[in-house]
Chain A
Amino acid sequence: MDKSECGIIIDMLPNYLNHNGNLSGDETSRVLTHLAVCEGCRNEAAFLLTLKKISAALAADVPENIINSVFNKIDEAANECEHEDVLTVSVAFGLIRDALYTARKVVNFAYQNI
């Protein structure tokens, strides 16, 4: 077993467990491939999952209305634009809103296409 690979994988595990797109497809494959053959790192991943559950106690209760209020503010700003700019703005906004749902690569793509 390559111990240096364990060190690298262990550093990547929090990102892997967060499912948040910080890892590229290749990096995710690398983690999965290593976990398949390394019991030590599997145990470490299980422990980090426990740590993640513990850290949920530190998380904020996000108020229900906040997402709607954010969108309302953005819609208001869009409506205040000059009429001839509205189409450009709303197209841009539509692209941005979709992009915000996905990973960083898609944000770059939307940026290049605005």
Chain B
Amino acid sequence: MRDYVKILYNYVYTRVPDSGDIEDIIQETMLAAWKSIGTYNASSSFKTWLIGIANNKINDYYRHRYRNRTETLEGQGEITDGYDFTEHTAVKNDVKQALSVLDDDEKHLVHLIFNVRLSYSEISEITGIPTGTIKSRMSAIKEKLKKRLGEGYYG
């Protein structure tokens, strides 16, 4: 349970600015998941299903806040909703340096893979971006970082 809440939190926090709202959305998502577990039929992975519920709660949140806006945030082929990772908590300088070569989309992809712990196919399902494209972006990210980190990047 703890792992799933952490994973969910890492997904939601880049989409919702206020920490109180994030907590509400997490609670509502887990509660809705508990109530509707009977409908989970493994046609998608459990994480994808859970994030699908979270997306609905996030969309409700934005619809409530911005009543006149009609666009939704999911499945538009974008990874990032404009979350600015440069505003993030203080990090060690060498890590900051390494991250600086990545653009926002690339940072988000890395975040989804290692912090939200989604597979390429799960990311594809959630964002609407084809798996092949995701793999190419990941290759590009690795090349950029290998160049930036230079020799001995294995350590």
Contact = CB atoms under 8 A, between A and B. Distances in A.
Contacts of B113: 14, 18, 55
Residue of A97, A100, A111 with highest tally of chain B CB at under 10 A = A100
Contact of B146 (A20, A47, A108): A47
Interface string A1-45: 000000000010011001010100000000000000000000100
A52 B46 CA distance: 22
Helix, strand, loop or mixed for chain B's interface? helix
A10 B2 CA distance: 29
B153 A70 contact: no
B13 interface: yes
Interface string B104-126: 00010011011101011010000
B23 A66 contact: yes
A70 B154 contact: no
Given A51-B142, A63-B19, A67-B1, A58 B107 contact: yes
A93 B1 CA distance: 12
Interface of B: 1-6, 9-10, 13, 19, 23, 26-27, 30-31, 34-35, 37-38, 40-42, 45-46, 85, 88-89, 91-92, 95-96, 98-99, 107, 110-111, 113-115, 117, 119-120, 122, 135, 138, 141-142, 145-146, 149, 153-155
